[in-house]
Amino acid sequence: MFRHYLSNASQGYPLTIYAGSYPDYSHDAVGYTFRGVGSGVPFLTKVHLESDVPFLQVLDLAGICYQYIIMVADVEATDKCFQQRFTDGDEKIFLGACESSRTETQVLLDTQRKQLGLIGPLKSSSFFAEFGRERFLRLQEAYEAKLQEKMVSDRHFEQRVTLDTLKRMEMYRLMYSDYISGEFMSPNQRNDFLMGRTMRTMAQYVVLGELISQVPNAIVINHPTTNIGFYNEKMGQIRQTIPIFEMKRRVYK
């Protein structure tokens, strides 16, 4: 399929390369610390560019038309837990930080494109800017509900969610330290909360997969994550499978 996309790429239908990125969460040299959110170029965006630009240079050498779109996950600004942790419950401030990150990222992309002589356009965007806020949130809610139903009816899926939650536990301790301490939640409440977080993220990947699959010649480059397979989790839909490429560099501790 990817070879077919390459051979069909043209000025009218370029190879469209999507890369998702976090908001500008705090980090150290190893990975994200999730102590706050800023308004600059996100850490994951910088990691993406280190990984993705050599691929774009190869496409240029091969004469393949492409466009590169990196999207900040402004959907996270609608999450009440993140709002409270990072912006004292103010969604507008969070969204403003994401928009500023989008602007700063475009400046960096323009600079790199000029310095490296890249031919294809490089675009800084966001989940909402690219696909529409209402559409994205509507689909996320619908798929989250389907995954919750599957949790009850499918024992293998329940085990998958449990295992994924355990794999993400170190990240969750950083993300949700205010919520999952014994002071606020019992062990059962904490388990339900974190498994719900896991399914929420799964649903977002399903949504991205559905929306990106509607774009001709679209592929995805993603950081290593347990959720990468959910781009092509069709949830009863009939749609195109998207080629997914995974970076080697991890951004979680």
User: Which CATH number do you get for residue 228?
Assistant: 3.40.50
What residues have CB less than 8 Å from 83, skipping those under 6 apart?
A: 77, 89, 90, 91, 94
- Residue 202 is assigned to a structural domain of this protein: yes
- Residue 75 is assigned to a structural domain of this protein: yes
Q: Report the percentage of the chain scoring pLDDT > 70.
A: 96
pLDDT score of 220: 98
- Residue 169 is assigned to a structural domain of this protein: yes
pLDDT at 187 over 90: no
pLDDT score of 6: 67
Local confidence band at 177 (pLDDT 50, 70, 90 cut-offs): confident
pLDDT at 10 over 70: no
pLDDT in tens, 106-147: 999 999 999 999 999 999 999 999 999 999 999 999 999 999
pLDDT score of 94: 98
Q: Concatenated DSSP letters for 187-245?
A: HHHHHHHHHHHHHHHHHHHHHHHHHHTTSTTEEEEE-S-TTGGGGG--TT---PPPPEE
**Domain residues for 26?**
2-246
Q: For the chain, what is the domain count? A: 1
- Residue 12 is assigned to a structural domain of this protein: yes
- Residue 45 is assigned to a structural domain of this protein: yes
pTM for the model stands at: 0.94
pLDDT in tens, 56-96: 999 999 999 999 999 999 999 999 999 999 999 999 999 99
Summary mean pLDDT of the chain: 93
- Residue 253 is assigned to a structural domain of this protein: no
